[in-house]
Chains A and B, each alone.
Chain A
Amino acid sequence: MSLLCPRKIQEEGLDVQTTRNGDHYGALIHHLALVRNKRCLMTYVYSRAEIISSLIWKVGPVLPHEIQEKLSHLEEDYFKKHSAALKSYMSRLDLDLTVDMVPPKDPYIQVRVLDDIGVVLSDDKTTNFARHSMHFLKRTDAEQFISRVGRPAA
């Protein structure tokens, strides 16, 4: 702790032993409190950032409104930057890693459309997703719609 104010000690021409006075201990307490506050703040910000990273896997690249209003601007920026990093990695591999989150049971899923999305192009087929229509979709095609609006029937 004698490193704490080397200049001050030099300036006043005092030797180390006599400077362990009220100033010294005051500075020590201040330093320890500061370091503890720094630890608390860093943990808080870092834990929130970890939760935000995990959100990308659960919710996708676009945040729902209820969550977005709870984040600070800085955190929204972090979310966008992190999704961009992920997207860039996925595009370099040419693989979408956000689909296929559970092991597959059936190759095709029966899907009922809840809201009118209109005509959608998938692979080589063009299907009209009118409301209340049922379709047989390939799993990976269906997943992007399930995460948005539709729900698999049975």
Chain B
Amino acid sequence: MASASGEGSPARVDGDYESLVSTPDVELLKRAWRNEKAAPEILHFQTDLIRRVIGQIQLTEETIEEFSSDGIDPLTVSLYQMDLDRTQYLLRSYLRIRLQKIEKYMFHISNKPEVQSRLSGQEKGFARRCTEDMERHLEEGVLSKLPENYQDILKQSIISEENDMGN
């Protein structure tokens, strides 16, 4: 990476590399959370980041317990606690936003493998269950009462050439 660049650039590349390495996971999580919140579509699941964040949260929880049993200054403990709370909020909100997007676009997600590749393994399971539940619900509520050729969820009737039920 650095070897191909000219005279002035190695310093810049190093600077970028350092900033990449030193960005704390919390910052990365915040960025991922902001992106997810603002984007109308579901984005790629940050598997590694989430795994690291969960590990760090557990570590911090244990540290806090040790602190409170060691009798460390309660102000310090509550500062750690606050930091932990904020990180937990980010993590939970990130996962929640993704779940709500899955609920909203479940049929689109099941039909487009490109979008489906952006979900984590557990999210794929959740999406599958969601679509199954919704299909059962629609079938029993409406489609079973319609004449045979009209019972498809995605096509208006069997003579439709494409999936024209909109949603």
Q: Contacting A34 at CB < 8 Å: which of B122, B146, B153, B167?
A: B146
B59 within 8 A of A: no
A82–B100 CB distance below 8 A? no
- Classify chain B: how many residues form its interface, as a range: 35 or more
Set of chain B residues within 8 Å of A39, measured between Cβ atoms: 156, 165-166
Instruction: Specify which of A46, A57, A140 lies most central, judged by the most chain B CB atoms within 10 Å of its CB.
Output: A46
A97–B157 CB distance below 8 A? no
Contacts of A24-82 to chain B: CB distance below 8 A:
31, 34-35, 38-39, 41-42, 45-46, 49-50, 53, 57, 72, 74-75, 77-78, 81-82
A107–B88 CB distance below 8 A? no
B89–A34 CB distance below 8 A? no
A4 within 8 A of B: yes
Least CB distance from A27 to B in Å reads: 12
Set of chain A residues within 8 Å of B96, measured between Cβ atoms: 57, 97
Least CB distance from A98 to B in Å reads: 9
B141–A45 CB distance below 8 A? yes
Residues of B within 8 A of A (CB): 54, 78, 81-82, 85-86, 88-89, 91-93, 95-96, 99-100, 103-104, 122-123, 125-126, 129-130, 133-134, 136-138, 140-142, 146-147, 150, 153, 156-157, 159, 165-167
